[in-house]
Each structure stands twice: as structure tokens, then as C-alpha cells.
Structure 1
């Protein structure tokens, strides 16, 4: 059983008690999943005056939306360099702009709805695990400015102490556009905004089947039915058997996080002086940050079968001490895990099946802001199905053949820096 009692759950804003669905109701749009994607979809639909109902198997923000690291980062699993190599500079620029737009959408909603989620424009930093990685980061900084006028700041090992009090790394690359937040509080605030605008959210309401009929769809739960003309799947790593195409197009994987006891501001400010969101350049990377209550949150372990083992958390603690040896006497007060989802091409996907079935999923662990952006795209696809779409939205969602799953796992460990070595 995966731990779901995260630091975020322990420090969240008050949660409403929402009812389970009972009986039969009718709406324009039924949305399955009350994470960032589903809630953002409902938010933008209600702003347009379209009726919608959100069904959640557990409670608002229960899945990855309430259990991630709270890193609102630019970029995708695939680098801009790799995107440019595949599709050219014009398309890569579109992808880069879309990434930044996702962060802006989060900021807009937080400001407009007064959501208290500790949103901070703190920036992020990639830390170089090897000396050669530091050199590659320097080339990346130069490339991004020359090609896109996108400003990054390179930090060599002599300057690194100003950003990170650790001897584990060789340099870093700062992206000032990234942010941080309390992810569960963002989900809670987004859900409250949906309801204030007239949307309905039902919790503890697991969908058992989806049946097509001459009016649209009958979405059945244990104690109720929703009749709707459109259906939205917003379940990402928890997409199961309700839609075979979506289930067969992603590979769920387990991801795990720990958080220390509260260390106090003096210690955390010294360890991460500028409160950056930090990840490193290893194939299976570490990622870590300060939290609003002055802990160190640390993640990086994955399991390909999504099965939790206590040894995963022990390994995470050992990894944490590689970076910050002085924390050896500090307690680990929280540990939790959950599922992320990887499509065949390592890009997030948003789209429509049969004109009335909509989806957004496959964030590859980079969905904190993209999911909000994709929620808006899903809403727009319903409101105006003939609208012009960007290249990011047109990526085909392919089924992952069983014989390709092993290759997919191996590709997750692919060396990103072998590509950067070729960037001049």
C-alpha cells in the first residue's frame, strides 16, 4: 500500500467534506478526476458558463496533484534541444512558450481566486552531477540565449555555495521563470473556485463504467449515474480500464518523496539560500527543495511496478545524506509515494477521441503547471472544437506495445547530456 499521508496533507488548508454521488443527474460535461487537470477543466468550463460535474474516486487532490514536490517548472521531460533536433527551431520555440504559459496560467488563477498556496517565484536550478555535466550546462545556457533569447544563469563550482551548500555537485543552471507552491492547497483552492462558479464536485465516487447511448454517455458509479454529452478523462497515472486507448497509451510508475523534520530557517536558508527548486543531472535524478515550514523535501526514487517497499525510503534518506551529510541526525517525518505516467514519446498529451471524449495526461513528472494549461485546452476543445491548435496539442497519442515497454523503461535512463555535447 503506497503511503498517501504526505507533508502536504498534514499542512493543508481546510478540506471541505463533499458528498458522494447518489441517484441520477444530468449535465453537459462529466469530468473523471479531481486533480489539477480535471479541476482546471471544470474551472474554465464554468467561466464559460458550461455545466459540468467532477467525479473523484477519493478526495480532491488525492493523486499526483496533491502529492508532488510542488515544483512549478518550465520545460518537459524532453529538452528543448531534443525538440529542436526533431522538429526544428520554430516548433521548439512554440513548446518553450507553452511551458512558460502553463506557469502563467497557475499564477493567474492563484491571483484571481485568492488561493493561499505559498506560490513563490523562486526559480529553479539544475545541479551538475559530474564535471562534464557542468560544462554541458554552460553550453545549454549559451544555446538557449543564442537560439531563443531565453535567459538562464550558469553557476560554476566556485559560485555554487551561493545557491546550494553541498559539495556533491559541480555547478548549476538557474531558470528564473520557475516557481514553487503547496500543491494540495492549490488543488483545494481550485476546487473551491470551481464550486463558487457553480460547478459540482463529488468525492468518494468511483466510476465503474462508461456507456455510450443516443444522448451521449451514462457514467455509472456505485450509487449513481451521470448523463452527459461529453466526457473528460483527467486521471493521468491512475487511468485504469475505463478507456482502453488511454490505458494502453501510458505507463504508470511509482515515484517517492521524503521530508525531514522542521529544521528552522537558519539551517534551510544556509542549505538552499535562494529557495530554488533543485534537480540534478543524473539519469535517475534527485530533486529537492525547502518547504514553507522549513523542511527539506527530497525525491528521486522510482519503481517501475508502482509497488512500495520501505527500502525505497531508506534509499531516499541515504541519497539525501549524499547531498546534505549534516542532516544525518535529523528525523524523516514524512514519506509518501504515488504514480506518474509516461507516454511512448515522453510528451504530455491533450486531445479528443470521437469528438466527445476528451483527455489530458502523460506529464512524465512535469505536470504541476502543464496540467492547468491542458485543462484550459480541454475546455476550449469542448467550447470550440474547430479552434486552431498548437503543435504540442497535435502530438499523436500512441499505444505502447507490450514488447516496447522494456525499451520505454530503458529510455527513461537515456543520457540527455549526450545530446547537449553536440550543441555548439
Structure 2
């Protein structure tokens, strides 16, 4: 632990490491601190989906905030996606990054109509491609009769999240970044024009501090903890499948999400003959057997050919939402942050890390549309999301209400 650094980064996920790498290559001394071992969190445990969508639909943002606001956000989303793939290629990070396309499966005819409306609006204003797949043709994409058709977004992608994180960390170390795992940051306080950073192994100082903790934001960072809503995501992997059986489930090897607010998702593993899937977010389960039973039920329902397949692995990870369901980047009291990814963490986390570093370096390209909005919280909220079960029931009610509508 050095007595001082130019920049201290709290959190060793995509955001923290991409920021640290960019800053170190610009000549700054950088230390990254993590409470756990580096990569312990969701950066290695997620599904590895690469997309350019928000929980807030483009057409709804356009209707409420105006076309200029909506297009600025969605252009930055597209830039986050494209720049992440470009970075991986330029750096030679071997992480199975591929533009495999995505199927968004509609959970009702009304969801199908809403999906078509949303994607048509994005195509008209932003030029983004899509193709609707009616129910009668859905088995061309997925071995299921559960959904009422869907939409294919042909240019979206996927990667191996663990290998991406490994490659990113290797690049940061090679650039001279100090990465200190099992070293919790307990306080960040202003001190004589700099910041005093207290950690589990002592104190250091920094000119700039970046908070990149997302779903693992601790209570000792109270301003940030009040603005993110941590929740547990669940994932599982099947045992290795016969190649023909796996190919039948997802013939084009696309990633799949459904159209609900609380999504179920599926993808072929990038490095084995397993199917990876998840869902049932924030159910409050902690027992691995209970989580496995819940997820296996989702698998049987969506892909009945796999009803008797065993699960080889089940795991969880901490994600984070926000009260306005939007990611946020910015600077509060001189401390930079990027967090609240709402299921868009792989491309947005990488992008926010880059943009934060560029802002610290004073570069004009560091401007980001997501920096403009205030980062909301609620009165009396201190980072304990006691209301999550109610929120998930509300999302389920909204999905059911939409499903009951008759499409125009």
C-alpha cells in the first residue's frame, strides 16, 4: 500500500478495471481495492450478454423526455456495445466475444405487439435492425411453444464474462495498476485538496477516487448506497448435453431473453456443450437446492426437451438497479461513480469505466449522455432494499396486465 496514488478505484469489476487501465496508460498511478478477491462479484458471474437496451423503452423515453434525449441515451448505449467489442478485439482478449444475435421471446400477443412497436421506433430513428418472428415460426429459433413469437436483433452479441474479466485484469496489471483484493475500503474523506482513503490494511491518499461497486456498494459509502438497489440474480448450467440436443434448443446459438420486466434468459455456453440460463430475480432464496429447483422449473417450462437434464452448477451474483431504472455516471463531491446498470452491466460497465477515466484526464470525449440526469433516491432509504419482494410482485402484475390487453 503506497502512501498516495493519483487515483484510487473502489471495485474490481468491469467499470473499475477499465477506468484503471485507461488512467494507468495515460501515466497516472492507480490502485484498485476490492473487499473480496478481484473478480469475486457479478463481473465474472453474469450471463455475458452484450446489448444496447434499457429497462426504459426507447419509444417511452421519446414520448416522455423528447426525441433528442432518447436518441442521445440510445446512441451512447450503441457506442457502449460497439466500443466494448472493439476494445476486446484491439486488446486481443480471448473471451469468445461474438455477434451471435439475440431473440427476445414475447410472453403474450400484447408483448409481441409492444416489442414490434419498440423495435420499429428504434429502427426508424436510430437505424437499428430487427426482424419479427411470429409464433408459427418460433421453433426456427428456439425449441419451445411457450412464447407468442418474438423478435430477432441480429447484431447483438455475447462473451465469456470470466475470461473477459481475466483479460481486462491482466491488461491492467501489465499497465502498472496495483490491484489489492481482500482489502475493504472503509471510508473516503476529503483531506487537504485530496482524498483520504481508509482501508482494511491502512490509509492512503488520492487526487481522484472512483466508486465502481454497483451491487456490492457498502453502507460506509452512504451517498452511493442510497442510490442503488442491490438484488440477487440466479443462474445455472446444465450438465454437458449431446451436441444434437443442444443445437435443437437454440439452432442459431443466439442469446435469448423474454419480454417480461423480470426476465428469464438462456444461452449456449461459449466454451462447452452446456446450456446456461437464469431468471426468478430477487426471490430471496439462499439455499442452493431451492434455487436449483426454482430454475429447473423455469428450464422445463421453456425447453421441455431438457426436462430430465441435470444441472451441474447453480450460482448467484449481486446486481443493482436504480429508482429511475437507468444507469448513472457522474461526480458527487469530487468522487466519480458509475453504477446501477439494470441488467446492462457488461457493455455499460466497460463504457462507464472508459468515460470516467477520460473525464478525470480532462478529455472532451469523456462526455456521456447518462451523466446529465440527477441520481435519485427515496427518503429514508439507506441501501437496504426491503421492498424488493413488493417490487417484483409489481413487475409481475404489470407484465400480466399487459398480457391481458388485446393488441391493436
- Note whether the superposition's TM-score is higher than 0.5: yes
Q: Distance in 2 between matches of 1:216 and 1:377?
A: 21
> Any conservation in 1 of the 2:291–2:314 contact (CA below 8 Å)?
no
Distance 1:305 1:212 in 2: 37
1:256 positional shift:
0.5
The answer to whether structure 1 residue 341 and structure 2 residue 302 are counterparts is no
Contact 1:75/1:96, CA 8 A, preserved across alignment: yes
Q: Is the 8 A contact 1:260 1:295 kept in 2?
A: yes
The answer to whether structure 1 residue 163 and structure 2 residue 141 are counterparts is yes
SS at match of 1:220: strand
Distance 1:145 1:24, change over 3 A: closer
* TM-score between the two structures when normalised by the length of structure 2: 0.91
Is the CA contact 1:31–1:42 (under 8 Å) kept in the aligned structure 2? yes
Q: Any residues of structure 2 matched to 1:293-308 within 5 Å, and which?
A: 293-303=272-282, 307=286
> Residues 234, 302 of structure 1: CA spacing in aligned structure 2 closer, same or farther, 3 A cutoff?
same
Deviations 1:112-137 (A, max 9, x none): 22111111110111101112322333
In the alignment, which of 27, 38, 43 is matched to residue 21 of structure 2?
43
Count of residues paired in the alignment: 400
Normalized against structure 1, the TM-score is what?
0.88
Identify unmatched segments of 5+ residues in structure 2. none
Distance 2:246 2:183 in 1: 40
Is 1:137 matched with 2:127?
no
Secondary structure at 2:36's aligned position in 1? coil
Aligned to 1:227: 205
Q: How far 1:409 sits from its partner (Å)?
A: 5.2
More deviation in 211-220 or 346-355?
211-220
Q: CA deviation at 1:402?
A: 4.2
Gap regions ≥5 residues in structure 1: 1-22
8 Å CA contact 1:73, 1:179 repeated in 2: yes
* Matches of 1:256 and 1:66, distance apart in 2: 13
Aligned to 2:306: 327
> Which deviates the most, 380-389 or 324-333?
380-389
Contact 1:284 / 1:300 at 8 angstroms: preserved in 2?
A: yes
CA distance in 2, matches of 1:399, 1:82: 22
Q: Is the 8 A contact 1:252 1:306 kept in 2?
A: no
Deviations, residues 273-292 of structure 1 (Å, cap 9, x unaligned): 11111001234221111102
Structure 1 moving runs of 4+ over 6 Å: 385-388, 421-424
Residue 231 of structure 2: SS of its match in structure 1? Answer: strand
Q: For 1:15-414, what aligned pairs fall within 5 Å after superposition?
A: 23-292=1-270, 293-303=272-282, 307=286, 310-355=289-334, 357-384=335-362, 389-402=367-380, 406=387, 412-413=395-396
C-alpha distance in 2, partners of 1:422/1:97?
32
- In structure 2, relative to structure 1, the CA distance for the partners of 1:387 and 1:116 (3 Å cut) is closer
CA deviations 1:219-275 (Å, max 9, x no partner) are: 222223222111111000100123211111111111101110111332221110111
Cα distance, 1:391 vs structure 2: 3.1
* SS of corresponding position for 1:302: coil
What is the alpha-carbon root mean square deviation over aligned residues?
2.5
CA distance in 1, matches of 2:237, 2:372: 38
The whole-number CA distance in structure 2 between the counterparts of 1:57 and 1:408 is 29
More off after superposition, 148-157 vs 299-308 = 299-308
Change (3 A) 1:88 1:405: farther
